[in-house]
A and B are shown apart, each in its own frame.
Chain A
């Protein structure tokens, strides 16, 4: 006789799953479904009624040059800030892992930025990067007109990239450092005895061994740069100047809540969701192949 530990009736299993299913349904499927429904209708903000418009909302968004500009800006922001945040964190973690003098200090200090809420951090950077009052005022005195995020779109984009990267350097650092520390010392010592230098050991031993962490952080950073950028944009640039920093997530907010265009914002959030899913699929499909899991 086969002996298995099973529930006598399938209903008990379902019962155990119900709380979890309810949570997922209430906080994900229901609102997501509502968003899909709204994106296919024109909603009156006060709830006075709506009309079915099919894919009209998507058509009007995708035929709008400003929206394509917003997608480009988001991709540029995601690419540069992810690259910057990961590169700096990687270098810092590698140095800390080598037990340089004072590395205990970096280990504590570098973790802090991630704990700061985006709006607070944005306020701080707004001051630091203000062309007339902050640190950049000094630079502007030497080269007048060098830094003007109020009118120069590139400067404004640079500001939000710096603020966002600064925050995620701390987050990435924790993971990179943990990954480095998990590499058996014996491997590195063996390589050192064979006469390989620091750089050589990094590329041939450490880097391949931390690729799972790099891949994980890449996915997280790109996803977060599409979503977590909201607070920074809202405080630092409010999407300006001339839409230069109007990232997709900020445009959803301003069209939906400031402009009371709930349907257009719902359609935009569906597009954003599809874009993030697509980017993640691409990463798993093409980049994960190069990852060596131990």
Chain B
């Protein structure tokens, strides 16, 4: 095989001009890409890598799944300290602050410019681009897999209480859940309260209601940002959720208890859930036969001007300390991923949304959103672009945010187990979260976020 391949390369090179930058007889330049997806999603990434390798002959990307986002970051750090880091790595949204201070990356925008690729950064949905951009608007990494949360609702159950539309306000949700309960539904709405749900319950809620999570514009303007979720509308939200839980309108569903909320919704056990658009495909594949359901934007409290929701997912970082040839390959790879056709392939095979307007338009023109299994996913784009992101709704940039999310889970569990009141729990969340932020700031003395 290699002989044939080499022969072909030689032929191709002979036919082309001798001014080629890449030596004609060389093997393709190999570089590593580490990512944090597993299972079905990892297979899609592998296919994408294969497509890239077959689309050209100069570079070969070696894609390796590290299992999950946490492990990817941990392994990359360990590899970096040992000088064996991959060229491209997928880092999840909340790892952005850590990456920006690491000094271990090559800015993506510079990389593309140096290698002669023109990327129209205005083409990215502003809600996505500004989440990952520096405070000055530079793109240090490339948005990759992106999602946003939606409300999944069971149309059959709502029909029983005479509703044909999803509730738009939390006040309506409260009334509808009560009606569902009265109509005999055991589990009107399912939530979970672990660290992971900080995303839809705290972060997205705050963005939609234009409420800050932390001072200094959610941390974008300095490492001395501190949490303030114990004095925003979020307190009201947790109070309502807790009350609904006490009234039996909201049930807690998690894998540890037997059934997670996506399964609970797909089997028809629970009638409303709040989860990522990324689960759209899973619900469709695993739903109870004949069940009618749809997705809607997350509700807001009455009288609130709806803001954009936040993007979740990960971006691609190019690490420092690699050769020019590897950087050329990385640039070609990022350019390949940026292509609208790759966006269509990626979104079709996963539940993720396209990150650029051109990708979205291309998918619309292909009729993607008209077909049954994918219909409804355009709601995610509507939610992301509900408003121009402002200083607060562009995202959250706090150090060690993974630990703050863990603290969110801990305090929510304490609140729901009646160990502390809502206000006490959120006060403790802020106190412990601030200690984490304080420690992060001390670890990087004299450094500032770019």
Mask, B408-450, CB within 8 Å of A = 1, is: 0111011011010000000000001001100100111100000
B410: chain A residues at CB < 8 Å are 240-243
Q: Which of B17-67 contact A (CB under 8 A)?
A: none
**Which residues of the partner chain A approach B414 to less than 8 Å between Cβ atoms?**
241-242
Interface window among B74-82, B277-285, B342-350, B381-389: B74-82
Report how far A131 CA is from B436 CA in the complex, Å: 34
Residue of A nearest to B77 (CB): A45
Our pick among B103, B252, B256 for the contact of A48 (Cβ within 8 Å) is: B103
In the bound complex, residues from chain A placing their C-beta under 8 Å from that of B98 are 45, 260
Is B358 located at the chain interface by the 8 A CB criterion? no
The yes or no answer to A130 lying at the interface (CB within 8 A) is yes
Closest to B414 in A: A242
What is the size, in residues, of chain B's interface with A at 8 Å between Cβ atoms?
38
Q: Is the CB of B417 within 8 A of A130?
A: no
Is there contact, CB below 8 Å, between B402 and A46?
no
Is B102 part of the binding interface, using a Cβ–Cβ cutoff of 8 Å?
yes
**Least Cβ–Cβ distance between A147 and chain B, in angstroms:** 10
Establish whether residues A126 and B417, one from each chain, have CB atoms under 8 Å apart when the complex forms.
no
Looking at the assembled complex, report how far the CB atom of B76 sits from the nearest CB atom of chain A, in whole angstroms: 9
Q: Per DSSP, are chain A's interface residues mostly helix, strand or loop, or mixed?
A: loop
Tell me if B406 counts as interface (CB < 8 A to partner A). yes
State A236–B409 Cα separation when bound (angstroms). Answer: 16
Q: Determine if A153 is an interface residue (Cβ-Cβ < 8 Å).
A: yes
Q: Shortest beta-carbon distance, A42 to chain B, in Å?
A: 5
| A46 CA to B78 CA, complexed, in Å | 8
Q: What CA separation (Å) do A96 and B435 show in the bound complex?
A: 55
Complex Cα distance, B436 from A148, in Å, reads 30
Given that A152-B417, A242-B413 are contacting pairs, would A258 and B252 also be in contact in the complex, using a CB cutoff of 8 Å? Answer: no
In the complex, A257 has a CB within 8 A of chain B: yes
Known A-B contacts A45-B77, A47-B80, A242-B413; the reply to A149 vs B439 at CB < 8 A is no
Q: Which residue of B lies closest to A254 (CB)?
A: B406
CA distance A254 to B195 in the complex (A): 12
Q: Which residue of B lies closest to A147 (CB)?
A: B257
Q: How far is the CB of B49 from chain A (nearest CB, A)?
A: 26
- With a cutoff of 8 Å between Cβ atoms, the chain A residues found around residue B411 in the complex are 242
A189 and B400 CA atoms in complex are apart in Å by 67
Interface size on A, as a range, is 35 or more
Partner of B400, one of A46, A242, A259, A263: A259
In the complex, which residue of chain A has the Cβ closest to the Cβ of B411?
A242
The answer to the question of A43 belonging to the interface, with a C-beta cut-off of 8 Å to chain B, is yes
| Chain B residue at minimal CB-CB distance from A66 | B432
The verdict on A130 contacting B257 (CB below 8 Å), with A66-B432, A150-B252, A258-B406 known, is yes
Q: Which residues of B contact A47 (CB under 8 A)?
A: 80-81
Counting CB contacts under 8 A, is A120 at the interface?
no
Q: Which of A250-265 contact B (CB under 8 A)?
A: 254-255, 257-261, 263-264
In the complex the two chains form, is A137's CB within 8 Å of B258's CB?
Answer: yes
Expressed in whole angstroms, the minimum distance between the Cβ of A132 and any Cβ of chain B is 3
> Which residues of chain B are within 8 angstroms of A131 by Cβ–Cβ distance?
257-258
Instruction: Name the residue among A44, A134, A152 with the largest chain B CB count within 10 angstroms.
Output: A44
Q: Interface 1/0s, chain A 56-80, versus B by CB < 8 A? A: 0000100010100000000000000
- Name the residue in B194, B257, B259, B416 with the highest tally of chain A Cβ atoms < 10 Å from its Cβ: B257
CA distance A169 to B254 in the complex (A): 30
Q: Is B403 part of the contact surface with A, judged by Cβ < 8 Å? A: yes
Name the distance in Å between B414's Cβ and chain A's nearest Cβ.
Answer: 4
Q: Report the bound CA distance from A152 to B419 in whole Å.
A: 10
Report which of A46, A133, A137, A153 forms a contact with B417, defined as CB distance below 8 A: A153
In whole angstroms, what is the CA distance A22 to B40 when docked?
Answer: 45
| Beta-carbon contact of A132 and B443 below 8 Å | no
CB distance from A252 to the nearest CB of B (A): 13
B400 touches A260 (CB 8 A): yes
Interface, chain A (partner B; CB < 8 A): 42-48, 51, 60, 64, 66, 126, 130-134, 137, 148-153, 236-238, 240-243, 254-255, 257-261, 263-264
B residues sitting closer than 8 Å to A (CB atoms) are: 70, 73-74, 77, 80-81, 98, 101-104, 194, 252, 254, 256-259, 400, 402-403, 406, 409-411, 413-414, 416-417, 419, 432, 435-436, 439, 442-445
- Taking A150-B254, A151-B416, A242-B411 as given, write out 6 further A-B residue pairs in contact, using a Cβ cutoff of 8 Å, ordered by the A residue number: A131-B257, A132-B258, A260-B74, A261-B400, A261-B439, A263-B443
Interchain Cβ contacts under 8 Å between A and B, 10 examples: A44-B102, A47-B80, A48-B101, A132-B259, A149-B257, A241-B410, A242-B410, A242-B414, A260-B74, A261-B403
In the complex, the 3 A-B pairs of residues with the closest C-beta atoms, listed nearest first: A133-B258, A132-B258, A241-B413
